[in-house]
Amino acid sequence: MLMRLLPILPVLLLFSVFCSAQTNQDSAWIKDNYQKMEQTIPMRDGIKLFTAIYFPKDKSEKHPILMLRTPYSCSPYGKEFTPRIWGGHWKYYARENYIIVVQDVRGRWMSEGDFVDVRPFNKNKTGNETDEASDTYDAVDWLIKNIPNNNGNVGVFGISYPGFYASMAAASQHPAIKAVSPQAPVTDWFMGDDFHHNGAFFQMDGFSFYSGFGKPRPKPTTVGSPGFQFTNRDNYSFYLQNPLPSLMQHMHDSVQFWKDLFAHPNYDDWWKARNARNAMYDIKPAMLVVGGLFDAEDCFGAWNLYKAIEKQNPQTNNRLVMGPWYHGQWASNDGTHLGNVKFDANTSQWYQNNIELPFFNYYLKGKGDLPDIAEATIFFTGENQWRKMPQWPPAGPGRDIYLEENGALSWIRPNKQNNFSEYNSDPAHPVPYTEYIHFSRNREYMTDDQRFASRRPDVLTFETNILEEDLTLAGPVIANLKVSISGTDADFVVKVIDVFPDNFKYPDAGGDYYPMGGYQMLVRGEIMRGKYRNSFETPAPFKPGKIETVKFELPDVAHTFKKGHKLMIQVQSSWFPLADRNPQQFMNIYEAGAADFKKAAIRIYHDVNNVSSIYLPIIK
């Protein structure tokens, strides 16, 4: 492998030197042309929020304000500038002389008050009542009245948790907020964002995040809290040895949201109040919702926030951009690939210069031409092309593909009697979500090779013949399974996979060493906790041996299976340690100890009376 790398090392070194020199030049220019001010901004209830303000020295014209509200700190505190202004695409806004504002949200870091995770939106606020929308309103009102030389136009953006605060800014109703871009926004933490997918708890992300982030902060501080000190660096082993009650003990009863999460195992009113879509009514600003097709943290929020705004605000100028990105990759300098899969171009820089910057320039500076930004700008992997679309999802009938015996996928409905495929699911040996031994959850699993899973007896694999023409999917995939289990509960993981030809290699492969011939690219995977098959509010046990329907939606797909490839579907009942293990008996899983986990025989039916199918949103 070293010999393969040697020819490209000089090129990489030159590129690194060039990037470093460019960053130093940007840094020097920004420090020469900007000033920094720190301010505590009062809210309507008297609480003050700590805010860092970077404003240009240029006085030739008035400048717009671009704001980020974050629970992750507006550091560095004091005179130093944040390197994110020159280290990423924020430098484009600096060149345009934007006033850049970063604020610690209520109860975090240097801001006063009490922090509440995904604080519920209160549409009926009176007097001094507050939520994140009112805090945004009050902050913006102060900024436009007190920051010299601003033009009265404000934009708000943010990625991930700051994307949630951007959504709340859109709901604030402040007339100065003209444009908002929630990016991978936290939207519904039970249904599909970050910590739950269809009721299954994503323990690895949840525990590693909240063991540090969730610790109480009694008073304003510039010092963050350390997370849990892992001694076992093999995440599969650690979470196998620590079922959920053990993880609760590791938190030492100090993290309020972790306790709340355990106290609300079902989709009750507590969770529903924290659904950001509740706030998406009467939205006035122009909206640019952005996300990644392969966002391991949040492949739900962007799609579904956009759809909620469309449904609840037909009059709002609402645009969607989805690229082939991991979480936040669109704000990075490199959008050429994810893991082993390549995209033929730097999609991140294309987005930054052709979508995001023109969007804010148009609405905040009156610069440029908005019609260049389509209703939906979507990158289709496989064909590796951007498509500008008049709506999302696109209109089209779609089509079911049927699971068949002997691992086949067919467009023809099965006609045999009492036909099924069976596997044994053992919680003591759950199916790993990726092949590698590692500690932190990786982001590349979203496009990883699934050949390791195809070789396991507890994973069912179904595939088409070699495709004779391109097959393009655009929209949500729906799994409709007919199942029976020997226990009273089980999870169901469905994966949509692109099987590359055996002789496949990228044209510019050069010294690449990963064998791409026969690669089984994960296009989309999703899990469904079986006890919620009828209702997320009211779980119900399975009756052992009884055939039942498990139907659920996978996040939207934008992918072309090229001629010569094959479409594969995999079905399994664990995805570990990404999602927590199901004990495979009906119970409160947050209370399940080691002795509660049982093996189960699981059947997936594909006969004339019990058809298992996958709805594919096919377009031309």
Query: Where residue 459 sits, what CATH number does that domain have?
Result: 2.60.120.260
Q: How many residues does this entry show for the chain?
A: 620
pTM for the model stands at 0.95
The pLDDT of residue 19: 52
For 424, residues 6+ apart whose C-beta sits below 8 A from its C-beta are 457, 458, 599, 600, 601, 602
pLDDT band at 590 (very low <50, low <70, confident <90, very high): very high
Q: Is 102 exposed, middle or buried (0-12, 13-18, 19+ CB in 10 A)?
A: buried
Task: Report the DSSP beta bridge partners of residue 292.
Answer: 323
**Res. 6: pLDDT tops 50:** no
22-55 pLDDT tens trace: 677 899 999 999 999 999 999 999 999 999 999 9
The answer to whether the CB of 268 falls within 8 A of the CB of 191 is no
| Structural domain range at position 64 | 2-188+274-389
**Res. 531: pLDDT tops 50:** yes
Task: Look at residue 394 and tell me if it is in a domain.
Answer: no
**Res. 14: pLDDT tops 60:** no
Task: Report the DSSP beta bridge partners of residue 619.
Answer: 472
The answer to whether the CB of 258 falls within 8 A of the CB of 214 is yes
Q: Which residue has the higher pLDDT, 477 or 513?
A: 477
Question: What is the DSSP-derived secondary structure letter of residue 564?
Answer: T
The pLDDT of residue 512: 66
Task: Look at residue 219 and tell me if it is in a domain.
Answer: no
What is the C-alpha to C-alpha distance for residues 547 and 558, in angstroms, rounded to an integer?
A: 32
The answer to whether the CB of 364 falls within 8 A of the CB of 179 is yes
71 three-state secondary structure? coil
The pLDDT of residue 509: 67
**Res. 8: pLDDT tops 90:** no
What is the C-alpha to C-alpha distance for residues 369 and 149, in angstroms, rounded to an integer?
A: 25
Q: Per-residue pLDDT averaged across 554-558, rounded?
A: 98
Share of the chain above pLDDT 90, in %: 93
**Res. 9: pLDDT tops 70:** no
Output helix, strand, coil percentages for the chain, rounded to the nearest 5: 25, 25, 45
Task: Look at residue 346 and tell me if it is in a domain.
Answer: yes
Question: Which of these, 251, 84, 55, lies nearest to 149 by C-alpha position?
Answer: 55
- 511 and 424, same domain (yes or no): yes
Q: Per-residue pLDDT averaged across 441-457, rounded?
A: 98
The answer to whether the CB of 217 falls within 8 A of the CB of 107 is yes
- 529 and 417, same domain (yes or no): yes
Task: Look at residue 75 and tell me if it is in a domain.
Answer: yes
- 265 and 295, same domain (yes or no): no
Q: Is 568 exposed, middle or buried (0-12, 13-18, 19+ CB in 10 A)?
A: buried
Question: Which of these, 452, 374, 431, lies nearest to 572 by C-alpha position?
Answer: 431
- 177 and 32, same domain (yes or no): yes
Which of 389, 410, 445 represents a domain boundary (last residue)? 389
Q: Per-residue pLDDT averaged across 516-545, rounded?
A: 98
Share of the chain above pLDDT 70, in %: 96
**Res. 10: pLDDT tops 50:** no
The answer to whether the CB of 516 falls within 8 A of the CB of 510 is no
Terminal alpha carbon distance of the chain: 41
Tokens in use for 279? 């706030």
pLDDT band at 219 (very low <50, low <70, confident <90, very high): very high
pLDDT band at 74 (very low <50, low <70, confident <90, very high): very high
Residue showing tokens 């040895």: 241
Question: What is the DSSP-derived secondary structure letter of residue 431?
Answer: P
Task: Look at residue 15 and tell me if it is in a domain.
Answer: yes
377-416 pLDDT tens trace: 999 999 999 999 999 999 888 999 999 999 999 999 999 9
370 three-state secondary structure? helix
**Res. 186: pLDDT tops 60:** yes
- 481 and 601, same domain (yes or no): yes
Task: Look at residue 320 and tell me if it is in a domain.
Answer: yes
- 425 and 502, same domain (yes or no): yes
- 516 and 456, same domain (yes or no): yes
Tokens in use for 589? 């899983």
* Total number of domains constituting the chain: 3
Q: Per-residue pLDDT averaged across 361-382, rounded?
A: 92
- 426 and 452, same domain (yes or no): yes
pLDDT band at 571 (very low <50, low <70, confident <90, very high): very high
**Res. 577: pLDDT tops 60:** yes
Q: Is 311 exposed, middle or buried (0-12, 13-18, 19+ CB in 10 A)?
A: exposed
Q: Per-residue pLDDT averaged across 566-576, rounded?
A: 98
- 488 and 581, same domain (yes or no): yes
The pLDDT of residue 109: 98
The H-assigned helical ranges of 196-234 are 203-213
What is the C-alpha to C-alpha distance for residues 361 and 348, in angstroms, rounded to an integer?
A: 18
| CATH classification at residue 326 | 3.40.50.1820
Distances (CA, A) of 110 to 52, 136, 584: 11, 16, 45
Helix (H) or strand (E) run with residue 170 in it:
helix 161-170
- 174 and 231, same domain (yes or no): no
pLDDT band at 371 (very low <50, low <70, confident <90, very high): low
- 203 and 281, same domain (yes or no): no
Distances (CA, A) of 178 to 64, 70, 160, 374: 10, 20, 21, 18
119 three-state secondary structure? coil
Q: Per-residue pLDDT averaged across 175-180, rounded?
A: 98
Residue 238 identity? F
pLDDT band at 563 (very low <50, low <70, confident <90, very high): very high
